[in-house]
Structure 1
Amino acid sequence: MTIESFSIEYDAINSRNTFTNGDTISGRIILQVSMETKIQSLIFVGKGKARVVWHEYYGQHQHRVYWANEKYYDVKQPILRETSQDGTAVLSKGRHVFPFSFKIPDRKMPSTFKHSTGRIVHKLRAELKQSMKLTKKTKAHFTFVSKNDMEYPGLMEPQYGCKDKSLSFFGSGTITMDVHTKRMGYKQGGSVKATVEIVNNSSRDVKPKFILYEKQSFFAQGHRKLYTTEILKEKSEAVAPAEKKVLTKVIPIPRELPPSILNCSIIKLEYRLKVYLDIKCASDPHIKLPIIILSHFSEAQMQSLSTNTAFEDFPNPSTQAWNNMPQPLDPPPSYSYAMASSSTYPDKHSSLM
């Protein structure tokens, strides 16, 4: 065996070892040969793509496979050109290092994501071709984090929802709940400040509770596969009958949560804040507001937001009155924490969806 080892590696450009749109990745392809060897070609490939696949079973012997692919870039660069008359290059015995430099396309595309049903992959690959032999391939994945889309509709606008509940069994009267948040977009490790106004004109105590959860959606051939996962729960003090209260709850966003993925047509990673009233022996009224988790800000993005004001207090010039804003709707279809999520909730959690 003349090819003893064949590998590709790259250099980190930051402490997180992540890359974003327009970054340049430098590295090397390493080839170890045991004797003088002829090579037809050595090619570098940079590739970004998404793939979704799942099985649905309709009986003991019947099932259907749903799948979809999406490609973002596929860049090839020749590394080793022929140097002899027969169209081959000759490598001497020993270790050979071939440097490469690859610029990630500066266009909108989704971040690295991995799940049992679908994944978004950004990788570097080398292909080695020899006469009368199978092509040898080696690869290395890198973590791509998409630049924040600060022009996403409603990103910096207040979010609002309201709900009325009438009690008829095991109680009487009505309950009204209004929920406000300052915006839709939040940075990793930040916090969501939710203001809840409750007017309890009923005969029962009600207790507001909060759930931050994620939605992972996969689309293929006109079908959707959905997973929901609770991230954290919080609760607040009870509101007694014939009482009106305005409560404020600060919901921390775990720093390890991956940013939202909203720019892929076959995979979406979304977050919601669900606020509901726990009422014994009655269905719980709830409100769900969208949350967009943004990735780490670049220096330029921080300057564009504000040089003197923290992101959590960044003002929105087009703020509308809360009372005039409709209930937000789900947007249409288009490694850490999210990687571990691979199972649906039982039916009792279906209201998260």
Structure 2
Amino acid sequence: MLFDRLKRFAVVLDCPELDAPPVFSSGESVAGRVVLELTGEARLGALHLHAQGCAKVHWTESRSAGSSTAYTQSYGDQVDFLSLRETLLVPPDNGDVTVLPAGRHEFAFTFQLPESLATSFEGKHGSVRYWVKAKLHRPWSTVKTVKKEFTVIEPIDINTPTLLAPQAGAKEKLARAWYCSRGQVSVSAKIDRKGYTPGEVIPIFAEIDNCTSRTVVPKAAIIQVQTFTARGAKKQKKCVVASIVGDSIAAHKREVWHGRALKIPPVGPSILECHILRVEYVLKICVDIPGTSKLLLELPLVIGTIPLHPFGSRTSSVSSQYSVNLDWLRTGITEQLEAPPEYSLVVSGNESLESPPLPCPNSPPNLLEGPFFAYIQEFRLRPPPLYSEVDPNPPSENSIRPRCMTC
């Protein structure tokens, strides 16, 4: 039988890093091979390859139809992102089987991922998975199947004007106890941008005013919100991925956070393009008020995969919204600037001697005569002196004019 001679049957994906699991993005090529190791000669049929990827959601809810009647309602849906089929080993046309000798046999394959995919995800009520499956047919026996999963991460670049825009909000709440007002609690918060990547620190700027007669405690947390949709119904699951607790605020006091740090742990990126499964993040600022419900303020977050550029900063969100057209500047500058002409080529020796003096219409006729004007005419067309860091005519001590202390 084949199982007696089949030593290994596996799907191997080519990956640059052998120790790391294979990770791909939309539009990339997935390459690999199906490996068969036989201990003896074997008669085989067709060898098919299936590449699949889909998002699935499923959950159940209990419904009450009366005082003593209850039933369970199921919800489920599926979206296919990838479905490819390929035959790696084709049997002969005469209906016979293929005979392979003992040893190692490899069947290479390659396919390209579509342009629109969702990031791999595993949740309580749904998942996004991708895999490659190989099916080996053999005469008079069951089909042998082997499966290899791989990860897809859709790139999310946070260096966009939308994700670089600051996020801010404010809320207030009136604390009551036994229908009596105990004062008001207000919170206003701001973060530098909307998009972050795992490992970054979110600086939180906030002001919490406690106008009540009790002590309140502020907190901040990053919440992951999983939303599953099927047959018009929605199911949500929220979990805290990171949190911090601030100092207690006494009655009629104010607390100010000057960039309180909250680090993002290694979590999966946001999934925003799948209509049956979404993964979103929010920054929630909470104030615990004794005797009444909590004061909550939420700011939206997007966890991306492409981090902020090294030159990106708080001003990058502003500068990215404005573009300067420099075409007019490029047209005014030639590709290669020409060197200026030499002085001897512009003014010759004969020209300097024959050039007439510059007329001055507003000057009296005798002003341009005399030894002083002749001195100017002598050096008017000569080249400038050579540059030197040493002053050839240093000032003497007698030439220094004393400074008047009364001025």
Which TM class, normalised by the smaller chain length? 0.7 to 0.9
Determine if the alignment matches structure 1 residue 247 to structure 2 residue 248. Answer: no
**Residue 224 of structure 1: aligned partner:** 234
Task: Give the whole-Å Cα distance in 2 for the aligned partners of 1:203 and 1:127.
Answer: 71
Q: Structure 1 residues 283, 244: CA separation in 2 closer, same or farther (over 3 Å shift)? A: same
Does the 8 Å contact 1:204/1:241 carry over to 2?
Answer: yes
**Residue 33 of structure 2: aligned partner:** 28
Task: Give 3-state SS (helix, strand or coil) of 1:142's partner.
Answer: strand
**Residue 324 of structure 1: aligned partner:** none
Q: Percent of aligned pairs with the same residue?
A: 27
Question: Structure 2 length as normaliser, TM-score?
Answer: 0.68
**Residue 339 of structure 2: aligned partner:** none
**Residue 145 of structure 1: aligned partner:** 153
1:16-72 deviations in Å (ceiling 9; x for gaps): 432222333332212244654444422222211111112223368721221100001
**Residue 42 of structure 1: aligned partner:** 47
Question: Structure 1 length as normaliser, TM-score?
Answer: 0.77
Q: How many residues align?
A: 309
1:139-193 deviations in Å (ceiling 9; x for gaps): 1001211111558883221111111222343763333211111111111111111
CA RMSD of aligned residues (A): 2.8
**Residue 329 of structure 2: aligned partner:** none
> What is the 5 A alignment of 1:176-255?
176-248=186-258, 249-254=260-265
Determine if the alignment matches structure 1 residue 67 to structure 2 residue 70. Answer: no
Larger strand proportion of the pair: 1
Q: Structure 1 residues 91, 16: CA separation in 2 closer, same or farther (over 3 Å shift)? A: closer
Bigger Cα displacement from structure 2, 264-273 vs 193-202: 193-202
Does the 8 Å contact 1:25/1:103 carry over to 2?
Answer: yes
Task: Give 3-state SS (helix, strand or coil) of 1:58's partner.
Answer: strand
> What is the 5 A alignment of 1:267-286?
267-286=277-296
Structure 2: gaps (5+ residues): 322-407
Determine if the alignment matches structure 1 residue 309 to structure 2 residue 318. Answer: no
Does the 8 Å contact 1:171/1:204 carry over to 2?
Answer: no
Q: In structure 2, what residue type is equivalent to 1:124? A: V
**Residue 172 of structure 2: aligned partner:** 164
Determine if the alignment matches structure 1 residue 97 to structure 2 residue 106. Answer: yes
Task: Give the whole-Å Cα distance in 2 for the aligned partners of 1:176 and 1:206.
Answer: 11
Task: Give the whole-Å Cα distance in 2 for the aligned partners of 1:257 and 1:47.
Answer: 25
Task: Give the whole-Å Cα distance in 2 for the aligned partners of 1:64 and 1:200.
Answer: 46
Bigger Cα displacement from structure 2, 184-193 vs 18-27: 18-27
**Residue 114 of structure 1: aligned partner:** 122
Task: Give the whole-Å Cα distance in 2 for the aligned partners of 1:279 and 1:207.
Answer: 7
Q: In structure 2, what residue type is equivalent to 1:309? A: F
Does the 8 Å contact 1:81/1:88 carry over to 2?
Answer: no
**Residue 377 of structure 2: aligned partner:** none
Superposed displacement of residue 263, structure 1: 1.8
Superposed displacement of residue 2, structure 1: 1.5
Task: Give the whole-Å Cα distance in 2 for the aligned partners of 1:103 and 1:270.
Answer: 28
Task: Give the whole-Å Cα distance in 2 for the aligned partners of 1:228 and 1:319.
Answer: 34
**Residue 9 of structure 2: aligned partner:** 6
1:251-299 deviations in Å (ceiling 9; x for gaps): 1111x2111222211112222211122222222211011221112x3xx
Q: Structure 1 residues 58, 166: CA separation in 2 closer, same or farther (over 3 Å shift)? A: closer
Q: Structure 1 residues 150, 108: CA separation in 2 closer, same or farther (over 3 Å shift)? A: farther
Q: Structure 1 residues 313, 137: CA separation in 2 closer, same or farther (over 3 Å shift)? A: farther
Task: Give the whole-Å Cα distance in 2 for the aligned partners of 1:128 and 1:152.
Answer: 48
Q: In structure 2, what residue type is equivalent to 1:73? A: L
Q: Structure 1 residues 219, 241: CA separation in 2 closer, same or farther (over 3 Å shift)? A: same
Task: Give the whole-Å Cα distance in 1 for the aligned partners of 2:60 and 2:272.
Answer: 24
- Larger RCO, structures 1/2 (Cα 8 Å, 6+ apart): 1
Does the 8 Å contact 1:125/1:139 carry over to 2?
Answer: yes
**Residue 336 of structure 2: aligned partner:** none
Bigger Cα displacement from structure 2, 232-241 vs 271-280: 232-241
Q: Structure 1 residues 10, 180: CA separation in 2 closer, same or farther (over 3 Å shift)? A: same
Does the 8 Å contact 1:158/1:319 carry over to 2?
Answer: no
Bigger Cα displacement from structure 2, 32-41 vs 212-221: 32-41
Task: Give 3-state SS (helix, strand or coil) of 1:155's partner.
Answer: helix
Q: Structure 1 residues 57, 239: CA separation in 2 closer, same or farther (over 3 Å shift)? A: closer
Superposed displacement of residue 232, structure 1: 2.8
Bigger Cα displacement from structure 2, 12-21 vs 146-155: 146-155
Structure 1: gaps (5+ residues): 321-353
Q: Structure 1 residues 267, 205: CA separation in 2 closer, same or farther (over 3 Å shift)? A: same
